[in-house]
Amino acid sequence: MNDVIQLQVSGLVKRFGGETVFDGIDLDVHKGEVVVVLGPSGCGKSTLLRCMNGLETPDAGQVLLDGEPISSTGKNITLQRQKIGMVFQSYDLFPHKNILDNVMLAPLKVQHRPKDQVRDEAEQLLKRVGLWEKRDAFPRQLSGGQKQRVAIVRALCMKPEVMLFDEVTAALDPEMVREVLDVMVELAEQGMTMVIVTHEMQFARAIADRIIFLEGGRIVEQAPPEQFFTAPQTQRARDFLRTFTFEKHRGADPGHVV
């Protein structure tokens, strides 16, 4: 991480009908930083990511990437979105295309890059995540963890500057979670700027440079992970973490040690 602010959220306000989701959020994400967003269900974590890549339009405030505003109605939104890769909980792979074709589709159709170049990069990325041997398989032939790794490769093949991850392990069986988290850890080690929404607490603690805690439409606490998890400053954060501790004692798995 360095001092360069790569992604900036300034005075963000977002409403759905009569409900205010965000009421003036400010957040700077530095180049190479890994920010993990935590908070109770319904606090707007996914909406924040969707505002960051222009899928949702703020009612007030703005999001800047490298100093340039991101707007779903702006003329440069297609180019801006190419710089921000996003991986969702659902894989959204094309079922009628094999894995290699799924990965190559956007760079060919959107960026109009040379096919040989795209194929070489796609193959290298698939090797990197352990899916080279699955390149000719179809999505129905892959496990959930494998499909999520393909979704990450598909986003990386667009050469993004920032990666957003929205609960990418939520729909996976526990044994498949680790293989996806390992890919994200490798990206962090290579200096990728990332904003991650997750319920994997031990993963969040291991990978984050900074924890952001959302509640009531605002960032109520932000801190380095060790400080947040060992000495949270707000009662709401303490209550939130106590819920996960309770689930762990009941035998549920709140996260995976990386």
Give the CATH number of the domain where residue 38 resides.
Answer: 3.40.50.300
Which run of H or E residues covers position 101?
Answer: helix 99-109
- Whether 174 has a pLDDT exceeding 90, the answer reads no
Could you tell me if residue 16 is inside a domain? yes
Quote the tokens at residue 1. Answer: 């991480």
Could you tell me if residue 94 is inside a domain? no
Greater confidence, 163 or 18? Answer: 163
The pLDDT assigned to 249 comes to 39
Separation between Cα atoms, residue 93 and residue 66, nearest integer Å: 30
Could you tell me if residue 36 is inside a domain? yes
Could you tell me if residue 122 is inside a domain? no
Nearest Cα to 108, choosing from 152, 156, 147, 157? 157
Separation between Cα atoms, residue 234 and residue 94, nearest integer Å: 44
Percent of the chain clearing pLDDT 90 (strictly above): 67
Separation between Cα atoms, residue 237 and residue 222, nearest integer Å: 10
182-185 contact pairs (CB < 8 A, 24+)? 182/258, 183/129, 183/149, 183/152, 184/152, 185/258
The pLDDT assigned to 247 comes to 47
Could you give the C-alpha distances from 146 to 60, 131, 132, 212, in angstroms and in order?
A: 39, 8, 11, 29
pLDDT band at 250 (very low <50, low <70, confident <90, very high): very low
When pLDDT is averaged across residues 114-127 and rounded to a whole number, the result is 94
Nearest Cα to 154, choosing from 114, 105, 113? 105
When pLDDT is averaged across residues 3-14 and rounded to a whole number, the result is 93
Of 6-15, 41-50, 67-76, 145-154, the one with minimum mean pLDDT is 67-76
pLDDT tens digits for range 129-138? 999 999 999 9
Domain count, the chain: 1
If DSSP codes are grouped into helix, strand and coil, which group holds residue 140? helix
pLDDT tens digits for range 231-244? 999 999 999 998 87
pTM for the whole thing? 0.90
Could you tell me if residue 232 is inside a domain? yes
Task: Provide the CB-side half-sphere exposure for 105 (13 A, CA).
Answer: 15
Question: Given CA atoms 172, 147, 157, 188 in this order, what sign does their dihedral have?
Answer: positive
Which run of H or E residues covers position 107?
Answer: helix 99-109
Q: What is the dihedral of CA 116, 118, 120, 121, to 10 degrees?
A: 160
Of 105-114, 164-173, 187-196, the one with minimum mean pLDDT is 164-173
pLDDT tens digits for range 132-169? 999 999 999 999 999 999 999 999 999 999 999 999 98
Quote the tokens at residue 194. Answer: 């990332």
Could you tell me if residue 192 is inside a domain? yes
Could you tell me if residue 30 is inside a domain? yes
Structure letter (DSSP) for residue 13: E
pLDDT band at 74 (very low <50, low <70, confident <90, very high): low
Could you tell me if residue 177 is inside a domain? yes
**Domain extent at residue 232:** 5-88+164-249
pLDDT, the chain, mean? 88
Burial of 203 (0-12, 13-18, 19+ CB in 10 A): buried
